[in-house]
Amino acid sequence: MSRHPFRLPLIAILRGIRPQEVLAHVQVLVDEGFDAIEIPLNSPDWTDSIGSAVRAFGDRAWIGGGTVLRTADADALVELGARFVVTPNTDPALIRHAVARGLQVVAGFATPSEAFAALDAGAQMLKLFPASTYGPAHVRALRAVLPPVPLFVVGGVDPTVLAGYLSAGSTGAGIGGELYRPGQPVDRTQDSARAFKQAYLEVLP
């Protein structure tokens, strides 16, 4: 169940990162075993950051764009060499377009209706957002009706609550402010990455 393309189902979200910072932070994430790196499109000069990350780490990690709202953005990501997109909402036209361009789509949703709309449009993965508003019980209820697709929880997920979501049926998590905040030192990113990876590994049988 919940097949996904990532070796480690923890999507590192580097919201607000700048091009001159991106390589150092992605380096420590890759060194810690993270292979899904999302740079949201509301970050400064995101095309430069994603392009440089793809060139430096595209053979070792999935580099993708987040907060994708327009088909033109999906096209730009394809040209940059990105391999997946993360949306904050369920937009069937955008999902269909991104899938047609060869991208993996992690579609944002909150309700079963939104989840099924995203899947019908071709999304390969789902993102429950904001997870902290709904909690693990919501994930468990969703799993009762959803097909066995990858389901990531995003928003307010830290290492102390990760196990509860995984036990409820989530595949993994997207981790943003709990992992990276703009301007923070690289060693803090590394320490946070280690804590999340350890929390994930402790749940494995």
Burial class (CB in 10 A: 0-12, 13-18, 19+), 141: middle
Any catalytic annotation for residue 114? no
205: preceding bond cis by omega (within 30 degrees): no
Q: Residue 197 catalytic?
A: no
Residue 112: alpha-carbon gap to chain centroid: 20
Q: For residue 6, which of 175, 190, 145, 180 has the smallest C-alpha distance?
A: 175
Report the DSSP beta bridge partners of residue 51.
none
Q: Say which of 21, 32, 127, 178 is annotated catalytic.
A: 127
Non-local (6+) Cβ contacts of 7 within 8 A are 33, 35
How many whole angstroms separate alpha carbon 117 and alpha carbon 65? 21
Paired residues of 126 in beta bridges: 107, 151
- Active-site residue identified among 21, 32, 38, 178: 38
Active site (catalytic) residues: 38, 127
